[in-house]
Structure 1
Amino acid sequence: MERAVASLRDRAPLVHGITGTATQGLVADGLLAAGARPMLTSTRAEAPTLVPIANALLVNLGSLNNDAREAIKPSVEAAVAHGIPWVLDPTAIGLAPVRTPLARELVALAPTAVRGNASEVLTLALGAGGGHVGRGADSTITPDAAVVAARDISRAHGCVVAVSGAVDLVTDGRQEVRVANGHPLLTQVSGTGCLLGALSAAMVGLDDVAGVVAVVAATALLTVASERAAANAAGPGSFRIRLLDELNAVSSGEVALRARLTCE
C-alpha cells in the first residue's frame, strides 16, 4: 500500500473522467491534491478520441445528460481496444430507467474495477439473478449485505469490486479486504464517492500496482485523509476543504500505518 500511494505521487497518472457535473470540481481537485491529473471530457465528439492518451478512464453515471450518455460506450470501447484500465461507478442506479440498463451493459465490457455503494452493487448484480432494486446513491444497506453480489460481479466480469460504506469492502471474487477507516462527514459532502471512484481509476492506471491492492490503496488514501480532515473541521464545509488539504499532505507511510485492514 505504501508503495502504491508513493507511486501515485511519483508518476501522476492522467485520469480521463466522464463524471457527474455536480461533482466535477471535487473530483478534479481531489485527483490533483492526491497527485494525479484529471481530464474531464464527456462529449461524444471528443471523449473517445482522448482515451488513448490517458492512463485510466473513469465512467461515472452521476448526471447522465444526452451528450455524456452517447460518449460513454465509445469511450469504454476505446479503452478496451487500447488496453487502458477503466473504472465503472454506477452512481444512483436502481429505479432509474436509463442508467440502470446502461450500467449492466457496461459491466459486461469487463471494467478493471467497479465502485459503488451496497445498493448500487446489488442492483448491478440483478443481471446475474439478483432480486434487489436499490435507492441508488442514497444507500442504507451495509457492504456486508452485498458481499455475494460483489463476488458474483467480480467472477463474472474479471474485475475488482469495491463496496463503499462505514467499512468498505474490496474483492476480486477470491480474496476480500475490508477497510475500516473513514468519517461520517464523508457522507455529508456531495461527491466523495465519485472522488473515490476517480482515485481508484488513478491507482489502477499505474502499471506497477494492480487489482485489489490498487483499489484498497485508493480507499485507504481517501478514508485516512478524511480522518485527518475531520479532526479540525467545524462541519461539512470546512471538512470539504480540509479533505483536499489532507489528500495532498498525508504521506504514503502514514496511509499504510493508519489503514485498518482485515483480509480474508
Structure 2
Amino acid sequence: MPDQTSPGTLLTALRERPPLVQCITNFVAMNIAANVLLATGASPAMVHAEEEAGEFAGIAGALTVNIGTLSASWLRGMQAAATAANDIGKPWVLDPVAHYATAFRREATEALLALGPTVIRGNASEIIALAGGTGRGQGVDSGDAVDGHAEAAARLLARTHGSVVAVTGAVDFVTDGDSAVRIEGGSPLMPQVTALGCSLTCLVGAFVAVRPDLPLEATVAALATFAVVGEDAAHRAEGPGSFSWRLLDALAALDGPALDDRARIRMA
C-alpha cells in the first residue's frame, strides 16, 4: 500500500481537489506566486485588504501571510485574516520577510507570531533572528547557512510557538520541534529569480490545505516539490530568465509518482 502521507500522494490529492489559497503576499511576488500555485494545481487568491481579508479567510482552504511589502493597512488585513483562520480552524503560514530590518517589521512579526501560525517559513537568517539570535542577513537575503545555528533556532521556534518551522536554502530543514527532516535538491539559480521563496510559502499553504492535520508532512511535500522542479528547470535553463518559466513548466509536468521517486528526504 502506498504511503498516504508521501509528497507524491499529497501532490495527487492537491490536483484531485484543488485548494483555494488566500495569499497575502508582497507586490513583487504576486504574479509568480499565483503562477506557481496554478502550475501545481491549486487556486490562488491575492486578497489582502483589511476590509475583506478576514471574511475571505473563512472560505479559503489555507492562508499565507508574507510581510515583504508591509504597510499598516496590510498588517491589519493580515491580523484579521489570521484571526479568522484560527477561529474556524484553518491552517495559515507566516513568511517573516526581513523581519529584523526595522522596528515596524519586528513589531508586526511579533504580533503575527502571537496569533499562532501553523507553519513558519523563512531563510536561515530570518529564522535565526526570529529565535532571538544574530544572523548575517542583509535585507531579504540570507547570509547564513541552514545547517547548525539555523536548525537549532528552528527547533526552538517550533517548540516555543507550536508551529512547524521550515528553513529553506541549499538544503532545506523542516521541524515540528521533535521530528525533523532535510530535503535536498533545487538549483543555485533559484535565489537569482525574485520571489521564488515567497512563492514557496504560498505552495506550502496549498499543501497544508490538503492535509491540515499533517502540517509537517505537507510542508515537506511542498519543499520536496520545489526541490525536484528546481533541478528539472536548471537542466535546460540558460540563465535565471529561462529558469523562471521552465520552473512553471516543470511544476505542471511533475506527477505524484515522479515526485516520490525523485524526492531526496532524510531524517535529521
**What TM-score, normalized by structure 1, do the two folds share?**
0.95
C-alpha separation in 2, matches of 1:138 and 1:59: 18
Over aligned residues, Cα RMSD in angstroms? 1.4
C-alpha separation in 1, matches of 2:15 and 2:141: 32
1:240 corresponds in structure 2 to: 244
Q: Report the Cα offset of residue 136 of structure 1.
A: 4.3
Change (3 A) 1:17 1:208: closer
1:194 corresponds in structure 2 to: 198
C-alpha separation in 2, matches of 1:223 and 1:103: 27
C-alpha separation in 2, matches of 1:241 and 1:96: 33
1:177 corresponds in structure 2 to: 181
* Structure 1 position 219 matched with structure 2 position 217: no
1:23 corresponds in structure 2 to: 29
Q: CA offsets, 1:4-25, max 9 Å, x none?
A: 1111111111100110011100
C-alpha separation in 2, matches of 1:149 and 1:89: 16
2:254 corresponds in structure 1 to: 250
* Structure 1 position 13 matched with structure 2 position 19: yes
**Map 1:75-224 → 2, pairs under 5 A:** 75-126=81-132, 130-132=133-135, 134-144=137-147, 145-207=149-211, 210-224=214-228
Q: Report the Cα offset of residue 209 of structure 1.
A: 6.1
C-alpha separation in 2, matches of 1:100 and 1:168: 24
- Alignment gaps of 5+ in structure 1: none
Change (3 A) 1:136 1:178: farther
Secondary structure, aligned partner of 1:95: coil
C-alpha separation in 1, matches of 2:256 and 2:169: 23
2:80 corresponds in structure 1 to: 74
Q: Report the Cα offset of residue 133 of structure 1.
A: 6.9
Change (3 A) 1:23 1:208: closer
Secondary structure, aligned partner of 1:21: coil
2:3 corresponds in structure 1 to: none
C-alpha separation in 1, matches of 2:127 and 2:236: 33
The question of whether the paired residues in 1 share the 8 Å contact of 2:137 and 2:143 is answered with: no
- Alignment gaps of 5+ in structure 2: 1-6
Letter in 2 for 1:180: E
1:231 corresponds in structure 2 to: 235
What is the aligned length? Answer: 261
Secondary structure, aligned partner of 1:6: helix
Letter in 1 for 2:177: G
C-alpha separation in 1, matches of 2:154 and 2:48: 28
Kindly, what percent of the aligned residue pairs are identical? 43
Q: Report the Cα offset of residue 46 of structure 1.
A: 1.2
The question of whether the paired residues in 1 share the 8 Å contact of 2:211 and 2:218 is answered with: no
Q: Report the Cα offset of residue 131 of structure 1.
A: 4.5
C-alpha separation in 1, matches of 2:150 and 2:95: 16
Q: Report the Cα offset of residue 151 of structure 1.
A: 0.6
Secondary structure, aligned partner of 1:178: strand
Q: Report the Cα offset of residue 134 of structure 1.
A: 3.9
C-alpha separation in 2, matches of 1:227 and 1:133: 27
Secondary structure, aligned partner of 1:154: helix
Letter in 1 for 2:245: I
The question of whether the paired residues in 1 share the 8 Å contact of 2:136 and 2:144 is answered with: no
C-alpha separation in 2, matches of 1:245 and 1:104: 37
C-alpha separation in 2, matches of 1:165 and 1:14: 27
C-alpha separation in 1, matches of 2:96 and 2:109: 6
